[in-house]
């Protein structure tokens, strides 16, 4: 469905999941001190190689492949409309892939999930002509693509955007603000068009809480989407798109104006561009009314038989068994005791840097032992002994099988 909204883009969906630390972090200007580099957040195979944590790991690689006409990568493009063209097809591309993160346990987080990366580049020399063509192409495509086989829209998507470029979310000093404003407009119009088209097919009507939030009745079938300011090391200014779903704001997309330094390092210093990363699993949860991300990994026929390719249908619960919980508490050691649970080599010195407790380490242990029987894990109590200064944490592990 998303590929179909970008007919002039190269489409990739078979890029290998094992990447280098440079691809996943350095090429995206992510600082050495950034928390995402920690072994508590990322699945490292060794100190230099890891399982990608986002589809952005292929951003610089694909841009450079387009600049250098690297057929070993370009030939993986699945879009037959532009396949074989000699122009730099990777000036515009989408990349869908599985990604891996050590993360919390709840209904919308899982250690394996799927993302889609999108990049749109414009020539600095012909910027105004290209941005105008982009607007015209988008309007023309919107007119001729009212249906893509998924039937009529079921919901009205209301998008709220009261954001602005600020000192905390600034223009880059090398850019001309008047050009970047047009680039932002192009990005937001494209994203609004895509998100509104897809979410309008969602099966889930608003709940009572949504009625209070939007001021609309459930009969109006409205779905609320909002833009908020964000931060990413590889874009500035940056934003996120969130959807009001299951009585909370759920992030589905991050996007922004690409860092000039990133483009220069990728051989595209003569370009301006914007990029986005889209959470496909969360999008599918909204579209099909699926309440728990664990269900995507179920082999239960009661789940699988509810869905058919090319058709959006409402998920029907098949297990209503009660959950049960177990509490586990433990002491964490003060840093001064230098008890090391995780060790990562500090490249700037000869000593090892130890971390005493990371919540994601606990989540990983729970997943390893209990698998998908666990619905969520939450911190319910914290106590600091005033005499010893030791901290006790109590976590509640909520068990609820999807099928029994």
Q: What is the pLDDT of residues 210-266, one digit of tens each?
A: 444 434 445 457 889 999 999 999 999 999 999 988 788 989 999 999 999 999 999
* pLDDT for position 10: 96
* pLDDT for position 345: 42
Contact call for residues 131 and 186 (beta carbons, < 8 A): yes
Question: What are 89-103's pLDDT values in tens digits?
Answer: 899 999 999 999 999
Question: What are 14-66's pLDDT values in tens digits?
Answer: 999 999 999 999 999 999 999 899 999 999 999 999 999 999 999 999 999 99
Q: How many helices (H) and strands (E) does the chain have?
A: 10, 15
Cis previous bond, 274, omega within 30:
no
404 band by pLDDT with thresholds 50, 70 and 90: confident
* pLDDT for position 359: 92
> The whole model's pTM is what?
0.81
Dihedral over Cα of 290, 294, 298, 302: its sign: negative
The full DSSP string for 259-281 is PHHHHHHTT-TTEEEEEEEEEHH
Enumerate domains of the chain plus CATH numbers: 3-304 (3.30.930.10), 324-399 (3.30.70.380)
CA–CA separation, 239 and 169 (whole Å)? 9
* pLDDT for position 238: 97
Question: What are 124-163's pLDDT values in tens digits?
Answer: 999 999 999 999 988 887 665 555 556 677 788 899 999 9
Mean of pLDDT over the chain? 87
Question: What are 295-332's pLDDT values in tens digits?
Answer: 999 888 989 999 998 888 889 888 767 889 999 999 98
Beta bridge partners of 44: 50
| Mode of pairing for the β-strands spanning 92-100 and 248-258 | unpaired
Alpha carbon of residue 224 to chain centroid: 19
Contact call for residues 113 and 293 (beta carbons, < 8 A): yes
The answer, yes or no, to whether residue 174 has pLDDT greater than 70, is: yes
340 band by pLDDT with thresholds 50, 70 and 90: very low
Closest to 203 measured CA to CA, from 281, 145, 282, 285: 285
């Amino acid at each position: 469905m998303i590929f179909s909204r970008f007919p002039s883009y190269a489409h990739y969906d078979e890029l290998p999941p094992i990447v280098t630390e440079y691809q996943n972090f350095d090429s995206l200007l992510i600082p050495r001190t950034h928390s995402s580099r920690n072994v508590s957040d990322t699945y490292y195979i060794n100190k230099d190689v890891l399982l990608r944590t986002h589809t952005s790991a292929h951003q610089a690689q694909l841009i450079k492949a387009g600049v250098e006409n690297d057929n070993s990568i370009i030939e993986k493009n699945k879009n037959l409309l532009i396949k074989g063209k000699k122009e730099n097809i990777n000036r515009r591309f989408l990349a869908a892939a599985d990604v891996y993160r050590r993360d919390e346990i709840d209904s919308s987080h899982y250690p394996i999930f799927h993302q889609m990366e999108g990049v749109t580049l414009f020539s600095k020399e012909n910027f105004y002509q290209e941005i105008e063509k982009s607007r015209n192409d988008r309007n023309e495509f919107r007119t001729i693509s009212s249906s893509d086989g998924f039937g009529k829209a079921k919901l009205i998507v209301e998008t709220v955007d009261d954001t602005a470029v600020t000192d905390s979310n600034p223009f880059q000093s090398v850019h001309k603000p008047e050009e970047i404003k047009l680039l932002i407009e192009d990005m937001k119009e494209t994203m609004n068009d895509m998100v509104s088209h897809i979410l309008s097919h969602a099966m889930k009507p608003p709940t009572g809480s949504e009625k209070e939030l939007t001021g609309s009745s459930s009969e109006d079938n409205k779905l609320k989407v909002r833009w908020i300011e964000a931060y990413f090391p590889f874009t500035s200014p940056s934003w996120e798109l969130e959807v009001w779903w299951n009585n909370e704001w759920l992030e589905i997309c991050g996007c922004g104006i690409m860092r000039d330094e990133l483009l220069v390092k990728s051989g595209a210093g003569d370009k301006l561009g914007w990029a986005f990363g889209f959470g496909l699993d969360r999008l599918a949860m909204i579209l099909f009314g699926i309440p728990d991300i664990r269900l995507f990994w179920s082999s239960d026929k009661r789940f699988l038989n509810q869905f058919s390719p090319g058709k959006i249908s409402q998920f029907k619960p098949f297990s209503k068994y009660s959950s049960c919980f177990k509490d586990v508490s433990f002491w964490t050691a003060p840093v001064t005791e230098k008890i090391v649970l995780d060790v990562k080599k500090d490249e700037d010195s000869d000593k090892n840097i130890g971390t005493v407790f990371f919540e994601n380490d606990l989540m990983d242990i729970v997943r390893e032992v209990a698998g998908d029987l666990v619905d969520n894990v939450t911190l319910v109590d914290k106590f600091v002994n005033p005499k010893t200064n030791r901290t006790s944490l109590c976590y509640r592990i909520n068990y609820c099988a999807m099928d029994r």
